[in-house]
Amino acid sequence: MLKQAIVMFQEYLSELGFKAQIHFELEGCFETPDDKPLNLIAINQTLLSLGIDGEIVNEYWKNQWEYVSLFNGQSPLDEADNLAKVIRTLPEVFSKYGVSKTLIKPVVWSGDKGKLASGCDDIFSLDTRAVHIPNAVQLNVSVLNNTGENIVCDAGFGEYLQQCFLQTSKACSILYLPEEEAFERFKLTSYYGLADELCSPFDISGGHQGSIALYKELGKHNQKMGEEPLFFDQFNNALITQHNWHKTARVEHRLGASSEAYDPYVNVLFSLANVVNAVEVYRQGHCRSALLNDKESIALPVSLFNSDKNDLLASNNQNGSNQGSSNQENFNKEKFSLGAIDLFAQSDWFSHSINRVQQLVGNKGLFLSCPENIGTSIKQNILAKYQQKKIQLNSI
């Protein structure tokens, strides 16, 4: 059913003259008995033999890795297949090359040791306290027109697509934060004093450095995007570069948490629903006029489950947060905080968006076996996974 829904969106966009490009990045950690680094060449050859359009690279922390999607022109459905296969098979692949444990988790507690020296980005002090490593799933989205041009650069489309994600991400946080520990990832910098070492997002924010970032001329670290070397000296140093940012412009959704429960198909659907919203406005020439002036960040839910404000504050104090002012400001906004499950249950945007595209595409060919209002069925299936957990929590 999920795959059929994704194909519906691909077909509808094709009818409109567009193609969505979606790419994943997945972070995780590993353990080896002899503390050896990963055999990246052998591992990536194995991924290639499995038909996966991606590769493993080293990440910031010593025992951290990142799966990076390759730009091989794959469809959104192919990309979801790739990531699903990686989550399922990577522990087995790693074990063939000496890895004793593969961790696809939102947080790896005491995953490394170290503290950055004051004022430094990459030089560590002698402080060897434990560092809790956050692991993310990042989702990159761009859109091509029928001549192959990236319209993220055109007529305010990129800004409007970013706005769509900013408006829909809170109600849909259960899709990319699928387990309770995913919410702990947002608390690491404040609860454990790791603001210098970690730069994980903690709210829904825009710009080019926010948790839902629009990369055009500049990237997350203010680097020039799309730099391509044209001429080299005798030492292979680039003498002249070209700044082709139009090619690499994209919206990057940085809020997802690494988890074996992360569903690539559901998150591709979430992305495609936002793309369709933005493309329809773009075709009418209204992207710039539809942009809002509100630039404030949006607080994420703090749990899968509903929480009483006093319970949240007590939990904050128990965790020893001495910089709880920012957390308390968020908690004090409401006496009662809705969890991700009920936020998703109360919102109709996700299911309605899928149902509407189903009606526009029509029940034909591949879609004849689809249930009526497939979006409603998908939403019910997602919520059903959490229903038992909710009952158990309420019975305590």
> Does residue 28 fall inside a structural domain?
yes
> Does residue 126 fall inside a structural domain?
yes
Q: What is the CATH number of the domain that holds 78?
A: 3.30.590.10
Structural domain including 221 reads: 17-300
Structure tokens that stand for 181 in this block: 């520990």
Tens digit of each residue's pLDDT, the chain (396 residues)? 999 999 999 999 999 999 999 999 999 999 988 878 899 999 999 999 999 999 999 987 888 999 999 999 999 999 999 999 999 999 999 999 999 999 999 998 765 655 543 444 444 444 556 677 889 999 999 999 999 999 999 989 999 999 999 999 999 999 999 999 999 888 887 676 665 556 678 899 998 889 999 988 654 555 555 555 445 555 666 555 555 656 778 999 999 999 999 999 999 999 999 999 999 999 999 999 999 987 788 999 999 999 875 554 554 454 444 444 444 444 444 456 899 999 999 999 999 999 999 999 986 666 667 888 999 999 999 999 998 666 655 555
In angstroms, what CA-CA distances link 315 with 163, 251, 310, 321? 33, 34, 9, 10
338: Cα separation from own chain's centroid: 22
Structure tokens that stand for 101 in this block: 């444990």
> Does residue 217 fall inside a structural domain?
yes
Overall domain count for the chain? 1
Distance CA 316, CA 309 (A): 11
Of the candidates 107, 65, 108, 71, the residue with the CA atom closest to the CA atom of residue 86: 65
> Does residue 235 fall inside a structural domain?
yes
In angstroms, what CA-CA distances link 357 with 7, 137, 161, 360? 11, 26, 18, 5
> Does residue 38 fall inside a structural domain?
yes
Distance CA 97, CA 106 (A): 24
